[in-house]
Amino acid sequence: DAGVTQSPTHLIKTRGQQVTLRCSPISGHKSVSWYQQVLGQGPQFIFQYYEKEERGRGNFPDRFSARQFPNYSSELNVNALLLGDSALYLCASSFGQVGTNEKLFFGSGTQLSVL
Amino acid sequence: GDSVTQMEGPVTLSEEAFLTINCTYTATGYPSLFWYVQYPGEGLQLLLKATKADDKGSNKGFEATYRKETTSFHLEKGSVQVSDSAVYFCALSLASGGSYIPTFGRGTSLIVHP
């Protein structure tokens, strides 16, 4: 069975541009969450979507937005890119809403470089 | 706010050595605790978890015990292998406004030499 897939794997953008990252969860999983991982740091929670509704948001500016589609895939959008947005963006899926007993399955991430 | 603190890496060991990676947390409630592992070029994988005080999580020879009195969740393995070389992340999950927000530590790199 396919795991969590993210696209693209690498992306280079310039300051002020907009970017869209995509994530396909494991078949049957209804929850997708997004994380930003800056080099040398742990993943930082951005969003969680469950059944196409936003169920949690981390401490990120409004330039970050996301949505979940009827097939449970998800997109993360970042507008007005800043140099500090350069990071590995991880997507994780789980069957139910992220909670104490939900196991998260992570994709390999999208490496975003902002020049 | 909630936070997770891990020991600085890299941790460098010889094969068959004993491993301890320290993890302490700060949380306003009673979190669940996790260890994730990230092998080179791969996504994070759940290694083990514990959901309440005194629980012991274990998997693949790794163990960690939820210590509420010391707010710790140290990762241990009795005999490491070269294949254990990876980055290890301690994390907590706590309810916030009706959803569970995961918080990760910065990760500890483990390098095991033959």
Asked if B44 lies within 8 A of A98 by C-beta distance, the reply is no
**Spatial distance between the Cα atoms of A44 and A90, rounded to a whole number of angstroms:** 9
Query: B88 is written with which tokens?
Result: 């290890």
Tens digits of per-residue pLDDT, A11-28?
A: 999 999 999 999 999 999
Q: Cβ of A5 under 8 Å from any chain B Cβ?
A: no
**Spatial distance between the Cα atoms of B83 and B52, rounded to a whole number of angstroms:** 30
**Spatial distance between the Cα atoms of B114 and B98, rounded to a whole number of angstroms:** 47
Give which of B99, B106, B108, B109 to mutate to test A binding, by max A Cβ within 10 Å. Answer: B99
User: By CB neighbour count within 10 A (0-12 exposed, 13-18 middle, 19+ buried), where does B25 fall?
Assistant: buried
Tens digits of per-residue pLDDT, B8-46?
A: 889 999 999 999 999 999 998 889 999 999 998 888 999
Which residues 6+ apart lie within 8 Å of A59 measured at CB? none
Which residues 6+ apart lie within 8 Å of B40 measured at CB? B86
- pLDDT recorded at residue B43: 85
Please give the sequence-ordered ranges of beta strands (E in DSSP) within chain B, or none if there are none.
3-6, 11-14, 19-21, 23-26, 32-38, 44-50, 56-59, 62-65, 75-77, 86-96, 99-104, 108-113
- Of A44, A100, A107, nearest to B93 by CB-CB distance is A100
Partner B, chain A 59-88, Cβ-Cβ below 8 Å:
none
**Spatial distance between the Cα atoms of A45 and A36, rounded to a whole number of angstroms:** 7
In chain B, what is the straight-line distance between the N-terminal and C-terminal CA atoms, in Å? 41
Tens digits of per-residue pLDDT, A60-108?
A: 999 999 999 999 999 999 999 999 999 999 999 988 776 656 788 999 9
- pLDDT recorded at residue B102: 86
A92-106, B51-65, B96-110: segment of lowest average pLDDT = A92-106
**Spatial distance between the Cα atoms of A66 and A20, rounded to a whole number of angstroms:** 9
- Max Cα–Cα distance, chain A, nearest Å: 40
For residue A40, list chain B residues with Cβ-Cβ distance below 8 A.
106-107
C-beta separation of B48 from B40 below 8 A:
no
- Of B51, B89, B98, nearest to A100 by CB-CB distance is B51
Nearest to A64 by CA among A96, A107, A34: A34
**Spatial distance between the Cα atoms of B107 and B94, rounded to a whole number of angstroms:** 19
